[in-house]
Amino acid sequence: MGQEIEQSEFSKIDFSEFSTRLETETDHLASLFQKKQLSQRGPVAGFEIEAWLVNERGLPVAGNQQFLAALNDPMVVHELSLFNIELNVEPEKLQGNVFSSMQEHLEKT
């Protein structure tokens, strides 16, 4: 899915390559929209929350595998780095109390 980025300064070539890849991915997404190849469930909403595991001093803790094993919840998954996690809710139809419902699911998680 991704890779660790070990540098903090980038060349014009790096930015050019990034722009090219971003344009390619954006074109691909537009194509999926045009071909109606995204959700067929109608108007839906969902979300994910990115979170970081930190110690008492606010420094990253590389422990997401242990955290996820202890939590044992399929709606919480690892992210790119060892200190990231992602909390998810299932998409729901945009009707009624959809946002309250998603909040309830997140609170249960």
Q: What is the pLDDT of residues 77-99, one digit of tens each?
A: 988 788 899 999 988 888 999 99
User: What does the alpha-carbon distance between residue 68 and residue 48 come to, in Å, rounded to a whole number?
Assistant: 16
- Residue 1's pLDDT is 45
| Helix intervals (H) in 1-109 | 12-34, 64-71, 98-108
The model's pTM is 0.60
| CA atoms of 40 and 94, how far apart (whole Å) | 13
3-state secondary structure of 107: helix
- The reported pLDDT for the residue numbered 7 is 76
Q: Quick check: 29 and 66 in contact, CB under 8 A?
A: no
Which residues, given as ranges, of the chain have pLDDT below 50? 1
